[in-house]
Structure 1
Amino acid sequence: MARRESILTGPGSQALIVDLIRSSGPISRTELTAATGLTQPSISNIVRRLIDDGIVRETGRTPSQGGKPRTLLEINARARYGIGVQLGFESITIVATDVRGGVVGRQLVDGAGAGQPDETAERIVELYRAFLSGLGLDAASVAGVAVVTPGPIALAEGAILAAPSLPLWDGYPLRDVLADALGVPVIIGNDAAAATIGEFWSRQVSRNEAFACVYLGTGIGAGVVLDGALLRGASSNAGELGHVTIQIDGEPCYCGNQGCLERYAAPGPTIAAARAARDDLDDVNLTFDPASLSRDFDQLARAAVGGQTVAAELLQRSADQIAAATVTLANLFDLERIVLAGPGMAVAGSVYARAIRERLERSFFARNAHSIAVELSSNPRDAAAIGAAALVLQGSIAPGHGPSLIPAA
């Protein structure tokens, strides 16, 4: 009996309870029992532990209907804070979020550029300390730090692996360097996967939904959440939508494949196509400087949305190609909701959303069984940083659904 009780009150059950309170709260213990199938004593034990840890709090009672009013439970938003760092070539974004995913602070600084990893890591340490001080956050309230970058990553080693936008970082032990300097748990993750968790967490999406996020940054990524947990794969590199083949024997890709979506529809190839048509884009003010790729893509998107014909054609081509790949993603996982995030969606999101909705309506395999909601992130540029913070919090308060938080030495 003791063994059964330990199973019912283990990390997986705590993650389930936290997820239900997060997405459905305020909720009573009786409703949690009905929703999970766990015994009332098990629910009571888990809830008591969560209340003692300050993660959950009681908040009023249900109206009496002849019996004893039920006490309601909700997540204590300010119980802990997660710090997310989005590391890119052009910029570094740091955010702090509470347990509900609410942003309590944000700062943007110059990116890694062509600088040495050690120098940038030292800047991140200084940024973190100044950031907490500026917000007045007690370091003891921070659950940890997650740094996210374009993939691939080596989760177990805490390192970036051959990211095309950060070539100098290949194999650099960023997690251990930061953990030693900061004295808090540190996770290294993929930006698209982090954005997925952030959108799932902050939108209070039900764990019963098949949920995905399509992320447009310097590359194209995606993440899928099933049963409340991010689908990670063998090495936490699942969801590389940009490396779906869309043209057999097409353009060579850095990944070793040919004809990858990313070689045709990402911001880099789109701006390269704009360079070829630059005579027709004189009024768009593009620099064609690789160090200003995000700025150029925003400029092209503004021109497209504003009706500039060539810009609109280039952006539509990218949107149509990503839409076709998104149908494949939806078919594989029978998705119910897709959110579009990432810096590339900040200006052009409406173009991509329309293309994806139209393609799903006519091509999604299960379209006669159910529709798919396609939504834009409310904060597309910071989605990965916000998601990184959520990744830390999920690993802290809902163990079993995220990567393990390894305490700093």
Structure 2
Amino acid sequence: MAKILKGATAQETHSAILDLIRSSGTVTRVALADRSGLTGASISRVVKQLLAEGLIVETGLGDPTGGKRATLLQFNPRARHAVGISIDTLSTTYVVTDMNGRVIEQLASKGIGRDTPATVITRLVGELEDLITRTGIESATLVGVGVALAGRQGSGSSLLRADRERYAWEPFAVQGQLSQAIDHPVVVENDSTCAAIGEFWAGRIPSANDFATLYLAAGFGLGLVTNGDVYRGSSSNVGEIGHMVLDVGGPECWCGGNGCLEALAAPARVVELAQADGPLATDLGLRGKRTSVRTDFARIARRATEGDPRCLELIQQSARYLAKALLSITNLLDLSQIILAGPGFSEAGDLYVQAATEEINRLSFVRAIHPTRVELSKLGPSAAALGAASLVLHSQLTPHQTSNRALAT
């Protein structure tokens, strides 16, 4: 932190100290000075300003050290609020969070189905207004709306996605419409990116800790947080782990390649293999339709955790492929922490954690130097929506860490 603040502007210092308070939960002025490398006088000036702005509050006293007990500082959770929306084929999830990233109100609505963005946005705006009214928060404290959406970032109207039925829902294609329809600052991001920043913000992870979040819904996405911000790559499309090739002679993927993780281990592939076993498909009541992949996959995963050997083998095969992909990512990026998030891990997430942990502990190139911890997200199935709200807070309150994706007004 001291290196970051060397030569920093007043705004950057203000932002960095606020982030230290976020990750600490509660902290004294003395501890802030030690961790930032700033003088006590500088810390006192910044803290005084943050208190005046209402962003932090004094809360109790620190542990006794022989002298006067220091006053503890923490976020004022009611000072700022944000809305996060996760737009998915099956459902739309809304959350309103306080400054700590704690959910204070939420709403589940129907998904986009085959509707166009224009049709859904009209409904979305109405539901959003009702939700905000229900929370009773003051408009002045609402800093923005974040939207998590599967798809590629980009610009213009060119078709980027191989799935022609979904290209209209690429984030870049709906950014403008949302910004015009919602009377608040708006940011639209990939769902895996949102899930990663949600873990960082709501999980109080320090900015010095780099980690990755693997998000599973219909497919796989990877969000990478480094130096307190998500790493986006040259066009904000980093993290397409679903199209990492694991078998050059494997099944064809919708992206045009062969043997991608997506084609080998995604929910659609697991359901396809289950459908090939007629008695199993009948026993589980699988519908076998494109629109039912997520619910069919959940049935298979649930039965696997109950000990059905047929379902257990299908989930374990999927988990083994994912473990191989995460091993490669770990070797490439030297990760010490990987978090598995998203609705795809709701039923059998522990099986995926076990497979990845065993593979990485056994074969990671740096296993003799440090362990790589694999764990399930504590944010639950709404990780993307909560992460979208966290992204707004992150962008507005700690801009010194926010790279190239500002809020659109």
TM-score by length of 2: 0.91
Q: Partner residue of 1:221?
A: 221
Code of the aligned partner of 2:49:
R
In 2: Cα distance, 1:361 partner to 1:106 partner: 38
Contact 1:150 1:219 in 2 (8 A): no
Contact 1:87 1:148 in 2 (8 A): yes
Code of the aligned partner of 1:312:
L
Contact 1:245 1:259 in 2 (8 A): yes
Give the secondary structure class of the aligned counterpart of 1:8.
Answer: coil
In 2: Cα distance, 1:236 partner to 1:10 partner: 29
Per mean C-alpha deviation after superposition, the further-off stretch among 394-403 and 214-223 is 394-403
Q: Deviations over 1:190-230 (max 9, x none)?
A: 10111111112222122232222111111101112222222
Code of the aligned partner of 1:36:
S
Q: Partner residue of 2:366?
A: 366
Q: Partner residue of 1:208?
A: 208
Tell me by how many angstroms 1:101 deviates.
1.4
In 1: Cα distance, 2:396 partner to 2:270 partner: 40
Contact 1:81 1:141 in 2 (8 A): yes
Per mean C-alpha deviation after superposition, the further-off stretch among 393-402 and 167-176 is 167-176
Q: CA RMSD in A?
A: 2.5
Q: Which residues in structure 2 correspond to 1:9-408 (within 5 Å)?
A: 9-62=9-62, 65=65, 67-154=67-154, 162=161, 164=163, 166-170=166-170, 173-402=173-402, 404-406=405-407, 408=409
Per mean C-alpha deviation after superposition, the further-off stretch among 387-396 and 8-17 is 8-17
In 1: Cα distance, 2:214 partner to 2:379 partner: 14
When residues 294 and 131 of structure 1 are mapped into structure 2, their CA distance, relative to the original with a 3 A threshold, is same
Give the secondary structure class of the aligned counterpart of 1:189.
Answer: strand
In 2: Cα distance, 1:48 partner to 1:27 partner: 15
Code of the aligned partner of 1:285:
G
Give the secondary structure class of the aligned counterpart of 2:232.
Answer: coil
Per mean C-alpha deviation after superposition, the further-off stretch among 264-273 and 394-403 is 394-403
Q: Deviations over 1:70-106 (max 9, x none)?
A: 3321111121111111111111111111111111111
Q: Deviations over 1:10-34 (max 9, x none)?
A: 4443343222211213212222122
In 1: Cα distance, 2:224 partner to 2:25 partner: 23
Tell me by how many angstroms 1:131 deviates.
0.8
Code of the aligned partner of 1:59:
T
In 1: Cα distance, 2:12 partner to 2:279 partner: 59
Code of the aligned partner of 1:289:
K
Tell me by how many angstroms 1:283 deviates.
1.5
Per mean C-alpha deviation after superposition, the further-off stretch among 83-92 and 176-185 is 176-185
Code of the aligned partner of 2:195:
A
In 2: Cα distance, 1:391 partner to 1:223 partner: 13
Q: Deviations over 1:321-367 (max 9, x none)?
A: 00111111222222222211111100010110111111111011111
Contact 2:213 2:341 in 1 (8 A): yes
In 1: Cα distance, 2:11 partner to 2:234 partner: 21
Give the secondary structure class of the aligned counterpart of 1:344.
Answer: helix
Code of the aligned partner of 1:226:
T
Count of residue pairs brought into register by the alignment? 404
Tell me by how many angstroms 1:68 deviates.
4.8
Code of the aligned partner of 2:96:
A
Q: Deviations over 1:365-387 (max 9, x none)?
A: 11112222222122431111110
Give the secondary structure class of the aligned counterpart of 1:239.
Answer: coil
Contact 1:92 1:108 in 2 (8 A): yes
Contact 1:79 1:99 in 2 (8 A): yes
Q: Deviations over 1:211-257 (max 9, x none)?
A: 22111111101112222222221222212211211112533334343
In 2: Cα distance, 1:42 partner to 1:52 partner: 16
Contact 1:11 1:398 in 2 (8 A): no
Contact 2:149 2:171 in 1 (8 A): no
When residues 213 and 6 of structure 1 are mapped into structure 2, their CA distance, relative to the original with a 3 A threshold, is closer
In 1: Cα distance, 2:316 partner to 2:386 partner: 28
In 1: Cα distance, 2:272 partner to 2:401 partner: 40
Contact 2:151 2:171 in 1 (8 A): no
In 1: Cα distance, 2:57 partner to 2:195 partner: 27
Code of the aligned partner of 2:237:
N
When residues 370 and 307 of structure 1 are mapped into structure 2, their CA distance, relative to the original with a 3 A threshold, is same
Give the secondary structure class of the aligned counterpart of 2:114.
Answer: coil
Tell me by how many angstroms 1:61 deviates.
3.3
* Structure 2: gaps of 5 or more residues: none
When residues 252 and 100 of structure 1 are mapped into structure 2, their CA distance, relative to the original with a 3 A threshold, is same
In 2: Cα distance, 1:394 partner to 1:301 partner: 34
TM-score by length of 1: 0.91
Per mean C-alpha deviation after superposition, the further-off stretch among 141-150 and 44-53 is 44-53
Tell me by how many angstroms 1:259 deviates.
2.2
Give the secondary structure class of the aligned counterpart of 1:400.
Answer: helix
Per mean C-alpha deviation after superposition, the further-off stretch among 278-287 and 103-112 is 278-287
